[in-house]
Amino acid sequence: MKSVLFKIAGCLAGVTLLFTFAMVYTPCASAKNEKAAASGIPADASFIIKDRGLSPDDVTAAVSTYMPSGKYDEYVMFASGGQSGQVFAIGIPSMRILRTIAVFTPEPWQGYGFGVEETPLTNAPIGGDGQKVMWGDSHHPALSETNGEYDGQYLFIGDKSHGRIAVIDLRDYETKQLADNPLMNNDHGAAFVTPNTEYIIEGSQYSEPLGKVYAPISEYKEKYRGLATFWKFDRALGRIDADNSFAVELPPYWQDLADAGKGPSDGWAFINSFNTEMATGGIEKGNPPFEAGTTERDMDYLHVINWKKAEEAVKAGKFETLNGVKLITLKTAVAEGILYFIPEPKSPHGADVTPSGKYIVVAGKLDPHVTVYGIENIKKAIEAKDFEGTDPYGVPIIRFDAAKVTQVELGLGPLHTQFDNQGYAYTSLFLDSAIARWTVGDDKFTAPEKPWTLVAKTPVQFNVGHIAAAEGDTVSPDGKYFVSLNKWSVDRFSFIGPLLPQNLQLMDISKPGDSMKVLYDLPIGSGEPHYAQIIKADKLKTWEVYPEVGWDTLKQQKSDRMTLEGKVVRNGNNVEVYMPLIRSHFDPEHIEVEEGQHVTLYLTNLERTVDATHGFSICGFNISASIEPGETVTIEFDANKPGVYPYYCLEFCSALHLEMIGYLTVKPKA
């Protein structure tokens, strides 16, 4: 009995009593009930523990993550949705999925992409050819920041497959803007913000001819390029300002993840790269495959960009214009001291700035170490011109040992790093399927162990990629909680077919040393999360209902299409229907049009009660709308097929939900 109690020391007293009861007490039913009543523990709970074979750690984990109904999570994690094209909002510590935010992909529950005009997806052509792309590969969410702290106002995310950036307003968790990059078809180092959200950084991944034009692979070195785009963000409008944005041309290496400096490194951006070999693949022609060709060299280049100097160069007119974008050429970037390289172990993935802004941590996937660079070292090397030479495009290469502070050996397949408030860094180890905890020699947070030392490795299941700690990439991380975003789940959950979910594992990192504990496994079965950020929930100032009846959610202002009473306005071939919605009817309930007429609906939800959302669909017309309390939406379509089409409320909003319908009748042409 003592051994059991020692194992659960530090757990809640009730859990201790429950375990004591479960392990040592197996009397008859009446005695069992008397014992349970005396201890205040429900009798059934102890038998659930025994029946499932739960260990003390299992019960501690369960208690740590349990959130009773009506209680709110301390944090919200925003995780990318990968191939789903969306973003997931997840409560922590409960690990409950609170919301899927529709971003790059249509989503019928939210009326996103199914006829509602007040969404950016309605008119989002790609590449200028009028093609509409109805999905995205959402990778790296970034919360807006003020002075290096999350401020909870906006969320940005990149679309790797189409080179786009999305803007999400966290007052209503809805996407407001999709910014298409006119110079590049793909990105990966996106989105990452500067400390006051002056710019959203979008780094390309795979080199292309800039401007989305053709050039043969045989002219790769001459005509293919990388790109770093700095999208100007207008905080007052809550939108990207393309006219005041700019891009920096990069050599045709493959750029990877980015991070913006802060504190002493503010004004600088750091972007990893690989394929400095400039391999072009072509196994069908007998060439080495990309995975071999891009890993021949021992070192690739960390891109160091002085974005404040780039901003000055643009103001001075030192740019070219390509497809409407202000482009700082490679030649200008070198001449103006905007771009430098530092050698880094090959195939790096993460580039992460420490909370103080003094250090940049880089993980090379094929090196067991993380490499730590110092911003003061970098500045001194630039001032002293302590270079190893230049790359083939004339970019100065800072001497590796001049920029390096140290290297810390962690394990196999290091990828990404996050930080806490105890002086620890956390790095994902893909091949080891583990999280490494190590100490940072940073005087802002001081760990009890020796600086730059591996402290612990905690196994996760399996093949961890990205990671997130509570506010772990800000100037003041919280510690406490950490999430491992694992690529494989294998034997973690019930099999649901060959396509398995990803596994997001919550960990407790509140205690020093080697005491990290896995608390919860969350399956994500709708895309592959690549990155996440965790913000204190009380920083999010979300609306419960829209500020006024008749709210245009795309413009975030009162709509001139708002209506309080139903009416039909006919003007030749155009029919406009003004329709208020309130429990439990539409007004009007009959809409009569003729075949071929153009119909525009203006729907306003008159409700002011929290959660009194109405839905709207016209059967047979591929229309789905969600109209939250106070919202006005616009739906346009051509009544091009005669017949009778019911329209109804998609939300079960009242007891008379099924009676909330109407009829659209389309009279055939004479």
Report, as an integer, the average pLDDT of 589-594.
98
Confidence of residue 122 (pLDDT cuts 50, 70, 90): confident
pLDDT at 309: 98
Note the pLDDT of residue 443: 82
Strands 590-594 and 661-667 turn out to be: parallel
Statement: residue 189 has pLDDT above 80: yes
Dihedral angle sign, alpha carbons of residues 241, 246, 252, 254 = negative
pLDDT at 10: 38
Q: What is the pLDDT of residue 133?
A: 85
Q: Does residue 18 have a pLDDT over 70?
A: no
Indicate the pTM of the whole model.
0.94
Q: What is the per-residue pLDDT for 498?
A: 95
pLDDT (tens digit, 9 = 90+) per residue, 308-367?
A: 999 999 999 999 999 999 999 999 999 999 999 999 999 999 899 999 999 999 999 999
In degrees rounded to 5, what are phi and psi of residue 133? -100, 125
Residue type, 225: R
Where do the structural domains in the chain lie, given as residue ranges? 2-65, 75-103+138-539, 551-667
Of 39-48, 120-129, 239-248, the least confident? 120-129
Instruction: Name the E strands within 525-587.
Output: 532-536, 551-552, 557-558, 567-571, 574-582, 585-586
75-103+138-539 falls under which CATH superfamily?
A: YVTN repeat-like/Quinoprotein amine dehydrogenase (2.130.10.10)
Q: What angle do CA 181, 183, 188 make, to 5 degrees?
A: 60
What is the dotted CATH code of the domain comprising 551-667?
A: 2.60.40.420
Average pLDDT over residues 640-644: 97
pLDDT category at 371 given cuts 50, 70, 90 is very high
Strands (E), 93-173: 97-101, 125-126, 131-132, 142-146, 149-159, 164-169
Q: Lowest mean pLDDT of 37-46, 381-390, 432-441, 470-479, name the range.
A: 37-46
Mean pLDDT of 630-656: 96
Mean pLDDT estimate for the chain: 93
Which band of pLDDT confidence, cut at 50, 70 and 90, is reported for residue 123? low
Q: What is the pLDDT of residue 29?
A: 41
Report the C-alpha gap between 454 and 411 in whole angstroms. Answer: 10
What is the predicted pLDDT for the residue at 46? 87
Task: Give the residue-averaged pLDDT of 612-622.
Answer: 97
Q: What is the pLDDT of residues 261-278, one digit of tens each?
A: 999 999 999 999 999 999
Q: Give, to the nearest 10 degrees, the angle between helix 56-65 and helix 13-24.
A: 140
**Residues of the chain with pLDDT > 70: what percent?**
93
Q: Are strands 614-618 and 574-582 parallel, antiparallel or unpaired?
A: unpaired
Average pLDDT of span 132-158 = 96
Average pLDDT estimate for 79-88: 97
Quote the pLDDT of residue 303: 98
In whole angstroms, give the CA distance from residue 38 to residue 651.
47
Least confident of 32-46, 246-260, 504-518: 32-46
pLDDT band, residue 466 (cuts 50/70/90):
very high
Query: Percentage of the chain with pLDDT > 90?
Result: 89
pLDDT confidence tier of residue 128, bands split at 50, 70 and 90: low
pLDDT > 80? residue 562: yes
